Amino acid sequence: MHRRTLLAGGLGLAASGLVAGAGAAQTIAAPDPAQPATPFVPPPKLVQLPYAMTPYEVHVFPDQFRLYWTLPDRTAWEYPIRVGRDRLYEDGEFYVGAKKEWPSWTPTPDMVEREPEKYAKYAEEGMPGGPGNPLGARALYLFQEGRGDTYLRIHGTDEPETIGRAVSNGCAGLINEQIVMLYDQVPMDTRVKLYPKLNPAG
């Protein structure tokens, strides 16, 4: 996939269009100083790639905290993401084996073993979908041939402060508003490429 070429450009991809917010001319109320400010997460943007990539694939670059949904004519939608912390991130080639809206969530045995105080209570029955669920508004389930469900997800989060950080249990996360957009773009069986970390400790 000429990964070195893509990384050599630092993913400094020139934006050819931005997602404009609706109602930009509306009056915005002054922020309440007593409330913590919500971290700003850049909107998805349409970018020009430095070289042609196969259209209609998902590419995740963990060191740049960016996900790309590739399109024809060397363009792609770029999304800011969070990724797996430490060595929980798993690179490789996958495909979208399932898609769910407001999915339920059950921690994996490894998660329960690592942090029983946090996850053990959900080990049996899990958590129903809805606000506050760790998988957020939408989830793309990553599968591999011969392995089936890898328990890796590209999913939503209501924690914007985690975007641009390596904090998850291995999955790639987008804020809920943006995973809804990506979910509608990406069909079943889409190829997903998760690139290796250049800094595995990050």
Q: Which two tokens stand for residue 104?
A: 């339920």
Question: Which candidate in 59, 66, 155, 193 is catalytic?
Answer: 155
| Whether residue 18 lies in the annotated active site | no
54 CB-side CA count, 13 A: 10
Q: Looking only at Cα atoms, what is the longest distance across the chain?
A: 54
Give yes or no for a contact between 50 and 13, defined as CB atoms under 8 angstroms apart: yes
Question: Which candidate in 140, 163, 171, 194 is catalytic?
Answer: 171
Give yes or no for a contact between 130 and 158, defined as CB atoms under 8 angstroms apart: no
| Whether residue 155 lies in the annotated active site | yes
Q: How many Cβ atoms are within 10 Å of 129's Cβ, its own excluded?
A: 18
Give yes or no for a contact between 135 and 153, defined as CB atoms under 8 angstroms apart: yes
Specify the amino acid at residue 140.
L
Give yes or no for a contact between 168 and 153, defined as CB atoms under 8 angstroms apart: no
Q: What distance in Å separates the CA atoms of residue 202 and residue 193, rounded to the nearest whole number?
A: 19
Three-state secondary structure call for residue 47: strand
Q: Which residues are catalytic?
A: 155, 171
